[in-house]
Amino acid sequence: MISLWIGQTQPTIAQVRTEQFCKRPSATAADGSIPECVLLAGRRSLTVIGQGQVTAPADTAMLEFAIGDRGSSGSEADSPGVSLQTTKRITENALSPTVNALIAAGVPASNITIQTSPLQNPKLLVQLDKPTQDKVQQVVLTVDQSLASNKQIFLQSISAGYAVNTCEPLQRSARRIALQDAQSQLTTLAQDLKIQPGELLSVTMMPFTASRTAISCGSKVAVPVSPLSLTSEESTPPYNPSDKPEVQVRSQVSVTHAIKAGDRSSPKK
């Protein structure tokens, strides 16, 4: 994205308001520094937006298996007034063959959790360290096969979330790439306009227009296996066997440079 304001073009309402605000005495900060709006008001400048993305193997994968109740009449879990502890016990009993199958497949018991809630169907959570595509698929296949003949519960949906232990190095790498992209755009834009970029006026980190899970330090992917499953921006998106267990981190920066005095060129039409 590129924005340009050159010469004596008529300012927009937003620009007029900015200049009026910046000219007020209160625009100077208490420490004597000059706000960015004062630095930019009335100056000819170039603004470009650079983007960067880095990808790294995930350190952990969290698989969420949403469990549905087949609704067998007369079951203890369907009785009125059943406590959450009782529901959890019933769910644990029903999932016992699945848990045993996962342990036999090499998943540590400490990495297996059964989550119950009065508002949602129970979930079987399985954490994998240093996941590979084959390991993830093996866990999914193990759970699916163990529930295939279960007359009480069934597999409703599968979700997968991937994460890294330390996010900051990836964030900084993505930001450096974004800054390099912005500098490249600035150079070519100045050449096309036959102007000389001057001093750096501002650098601003910009958010992506996307859901939280799409821009966080992690990659969460896939599609429901059942039409009964529900998804939201705050939930872990469904599992897709074709996706690699990796993390993508993106960065976006806005960079503004002054135009050196003496350049009066205008964009070619």
| Residues 92 and 130 reside in one and the same domain | yes
- Which range has the top average pLDDT, 2-6, 22-26, 94-98, 147-151? 94-98
| Residues 51 and 175 reside in one and the same domain | yes
Specify the CATH number for the domain of residue 16. 3.30.110
At residue 207, the pLDDT reads 78
As given in the structure block, the two tokens for residue 75 are 């079951």
| Residues 66 and 193 reside in one and the same domain | no
Whether the per-residue pLDDT at 199 is higher than 90: the answer is: yes
Can you tell me the mean pLDDT for 181-187? 96
| Residues 72 and 139 reside in one and the same domain | yes
Specify the CATH number for the domain of residue 155. 3.30.70.3400
Instruction: Convert the pLDDT of each residue in 223-268 to its tens digit.
Output: 333 333 333 445 687 899 999 999 988 999 999 999 987 655 555 5
What pLDDT band is residue 164 in, cutting at 50, 70 and 90? very high
| Residues 84 and 148 reside in one and the same domain | yes
Residue 226, domain member (yes or no): no
| Residues 73 and 122 reside in one and the same domain | yes
Are 45 and 201 in contact, with CB atoms under 8 Å apart? yes
Q: How many domains does the chain have?
A: 2
Whole-prediction pTM value? 0.66
| Residues 14 and 86 reside in one and the same domain | no
Instruction: Tell me which residue has tokens 């999914």.
Output: 140
| Residues 88 and 145 reside in one and the same domain | yes
Residue 118, domain member (yes or no): yes
| Residues 49 and 106 reside in one and the same domain | no
| Residues 102 and 155 reside in one and the same domain | yes
Residue after which a domain boundary falls, among 106, 141, 163: 163
Residue 176, domain member (yes or no): yes
| Residues 29 and 100 reside in one and the same domain | no
Distance, in Å, from the CA atom of 131 to the CA atom of 135, rounded to the nearest integer, reads: 6
Work out the number of other CB atoms within 10 angstroms of the CB of residue 256.
Answer: 21
Distance, in Å, from the CA atom of 207 to the CA atom of 7, rounded to the nearest integer, reads: 30
As given in the structure block, the two tokens for residue 255 are 């960079």
Distance, in Å, from the CA atom of 230 to the CA atom of 63, rounded to the nearest integer, reads: 16
Nearest to 66 by CA among 121, 148, 146: 121
Terminal CA-to-CA distance of the chain, rounded, Å?
A: 19
At residue 209, the pLDDT reads 57
Distance, in Å, from the CA atom of 257 to the CA atom of 268, rounded to the nearest integer, reads: 20
Q: Which residues have a Cβ under 8 Å from the Cβ of 173 and sit 6 or more positions away?
A: 52, 54, 249
At residue 221, the pLDDT reads 36
What pLDDT band is residue 9 in, cutting at 50, 70 and 90? very low
Whether the per-residue pLDDT at 162 is higher than 60: the answer is: yes
Residue after which a domain boundary falls, among 106, 134, 163: 163
- Which range has the top average pLDDT, 1-10, 166-175, 177-186, 247-256? 177-186
Instruction: Convert the pLDDT of each residue in 18-52 to its tens digit.
Output: 333 344 444 444 544 444 444 455 578 999 999 99
Domain range for 123 = 60-163
Residue 88, domain member (yes or no): yes
Residue 77, domain member (yes or no): yes
* Residue 106 DSSP one-character state: T
Residue 191, domain member (yes or no): yes
Instruction: Convert the pLDDT of each residue in 74-112 to its tens digit.
Output: 455 455 445 667 667 778 889 999 999 999 999 999 999
